[in-house]
A and B are shown apart, each in its own frame.
Chain A
């Protein structure tokens, strides 16, 4: 069975601080895909990144960066110089590909205080 663990339930930081959201996953699939989504108060899921299991290269997109480590089954997400607009719930998710659904972690609620 697939499982995603986001151990941090809530994080609060002051604006301009860096923050890392942890994600640990479990799967028996050799091919799988990892995702991060942002969910603002409106509820809509905002896609941030998808990474497949064969691509361990870290990725940077503006203030966002992701560290994928297969050896520790982790896919952590860092926001550099956080801003108030980053306040949201962030979900890490996993799927085996094909016609399989996403399995979500419990989410981490990030509050960035001005």
Chain B
């Protein structure tokens, strides 16, 4: 079945540093990837839609200069949290949609828990 690998699972960083999170589709080509953020005891909120070879589309209220998304290939999208602050501490989850979008197959990564000190 379709597998999405997300790395790292856990990351702790100091305030002001940047953190990169990778989302890879292991056995299928992902034309579209979605990045979600989940604060403790809350739901998953869509941050941005990433399409291979084009700029990401950000949801209202999400700073594109702070959350840099790159989808340079059909199997990899990266989210970079720049100049991280404690309020950026959250659980970040990606999902990938295969090229066979008619089946609307969405596969989620295991998530990345970011803690900013």
Contacts and interface: CB of A to CB of B under 8 A. Distances in A.
Interface of A: 33, 37, 42-45, 47, 50, 91, 95, 97-99, 101-107, 109
Contacts of B43: 91, 104-107
A47 B44 CA distance: 15
B111 A104 contact: no
Contact of B97 (A44, A99, A106, A107): A99
14 contacts: A44-B108, A44-B111, A45-B93, A50-B104, A91-B43, A91-B44, A97-B104, A98-B101, A99-B31, A99-B101, A102-B34, A104-B43, A104-B45, A106-B42
Interface string B28-62: 00011010001001111110010100000000000
Contacts of B31: 99
Interface residues of B, number: 23
A16 to B, nearest CB: 27
Interface of B: 31-32, 34, 38, 41-46, 49, 51, 91, 93, 95, 97, 101, 104, 106, 108, 110-111, 113
A49 to B, nearest CB: 13
